[in-house]
Amino acid sequence: MIELFGKSFTKQELHKHVGDMSQIAGVRPVELLNGNERGVRALEFTTGSGFQFTVLADRAMDIFDAKYNGNSLCWHSPAGPVAPAFYDNHDLGWLWNMPGGLVVTCGLTQAGPPDLDGEEELGLHGRISNMPAKNVNFGAEWEDEDYILWATGEIREARLFGPNLLMRRGILARMGQSRVWIKDEIENQGFNETPLMFIYHCNMGFPVVQEGSELLAVIENMEPRDKEAETGVDIFDTFESPTANYAEQCFFIDHDVNDKEFVNTAIINRHFNNGQGIGVYLTYPKKELPQYTQWKMVGEGAYVVGMEPGNCVPEGRVSARKRGTLQVLQPGEKVTFHLEIGVLSSNNEIRNFEAKLRGMSD
């Protein structure tokens, strides 16, 4: 059964009501045309629950727009979804192309600030989010009584005399549900061991992030990144109104897990829409994504909170190697990452999520 508009429907009942399922839910291919976005291929997902999101096929199949009942769930950078041809991999050039949105992928061989690894120049957060996907496929179809929306693609980070990593990305949603699943398989198709740094840079924004919004999590330990973050330790899990001249603060968080070894965390706004409430949660296996960074940037215009699970923290390849935490892939080796992102559409759902967290901490 599929839950829609407060009622339950079978596959047969829905077919009696509509001429085509795209009336309710589906995946539509589009191409962006305006300014430096021109030529970017995209896929628009609509689930029928009020949840909509846009996958940028030419930006590593990252997720840009994400809305629930017309309300944005994420922050957009003023740069917008710039075409990858404009990418500048030097120093902080990544910021000129960083669109924001629900998910930006950092990696695959560098995540963190610009640096120099031997003679190799490393730009901010790596190259993968500016790589177009090949062999992109998408569709919407019935699997028994579930109507599945999906897209797949392959994104390669490779050069002569360098790494040859292939990321196979799959994105899945279901009719009537307000959540999306991402599955990434990364394979070293080269002949030398290769560093692997990987972060899901999830950018939550207004109105989910507003004065009084909160981080919900079961936290084992929290470490401020630097002296600037130390000044905000007491309020790292609550968020202020847009603040002039705010300096970003990063916190490295060690989450507790449920009985299936999954992390559950959310950012919620209980006061949204006269107390109706709204939030966005993440769920993922801690074994795959053992590190989590909260990027708190509540500046004017740059009003965003990053929820960033990964296999590393965003401190860069050189730093990770010095600490002995740099993951490498051997030739032919594969790893897989999973992430679920969903909407908490009311304070009742927020309370249910909190009860789940209390169960983890008992």
Could you tell me if 45 and 55 are in contact, meaning their C-beta atoms sit under 8 angstroms apart?
yes
- The three-state secondary structure class of 279 is strand
pLDDT confidence of residue 358: 87
* Residue partners of 71: CB distance under 8 A and separation at least 6: 207, 278
Cis peptide bond N-terminal to 289, omega within 30: no
pLDDT confidence of residue 360: 78
Residuewise pLDDT in 10s, the chain (362 residues): 899 999 999 999 999 999 999 999 999 999 999 999 999 999 999 999 999 999 999 999 999 999 999 999 999 999 999 999 999 999 999 999 999 999 999 999 999 999 999 999 999 999 999 999 999 999 999 999 999 999 999 999 999 999 999 999 999 999 999 999 999 999 999 999 999 999 999 999 999 999 999 999 999 999 999 999 999 999 999 999 999 999 999 999 999 999 999 999 999 999 999 999 999 999 999 999 999 999 999 999 999 999 999 999 999 999 999 999 999 999 999 999 999 999 999 999 999 999 999 887 66
Q: Which of 344, 341, 345, 3 is nearest to 181 (CA)?
A: 341
Cis peptide bond N-terminal to 207, omega within 30: yes
Residue 354 CA to residue 177 CA, distance in Å, equals 20
* Residue partners of 153: CB distance under 8 A and separation at least 6: 57, 61, 133, 134, 135, 136, 137, 168, 169
Residue 281 CA to residue 269 CA, distance in Å, equals 12
Give me the long-range contacts of 222-227 (CB less than 8 A, separation at least 24): 222/251, 222/252, 222/253, 222/254, 223/251, 223/252, 223/253, 224/249, 224/250, 224/251, 224/252, 225/249, 225/250, 225/251, 225/252, 225/293, 225/315, 226/250
Residue 207 CA to residue 273 CA, distance in Å, equals 9
pLDDT confidence of residue 362: 61
Residue 44 CA to residue 52 CA, distance in Å, equals 7
At residue 342, φ and ψ (nearest 5 deg) are -145, 165
Parse the chain into domains and list their residue ranges: 2-361
End-to-end CA distance of the chain: 33
Q: Which two tokens stand for residue 146?
A: 């579930």
Neighbour-count burial of 114, counting CB atoms closer than 10 A to its CB (0-12 exposed, 13-18 middle, 19+ buried)? middle
pLDDT confidence of residue 158: 97
Residue 31 CA to residue 355 CA, distance in Å, equals 42
Residue 261 CA to residue 263 CA, distance in Å, equals 7
Third-level CATH fold of 2-361:
Beta-galactosidase; Chain A, domain 5 (2.70.98)
Residue type at 205 in one-letter notation? G
At residue 354, φ and ψ (nearest 5 deg) are -60, -40
Residue 85 CA to residue 359 CA, distance in Å, equals 48
Residue 335 CA to residue 186 CA, distance in Å, equals 5
Q: Which of 206, 171, 201 is nearest to 47 (CA)?
A: 171
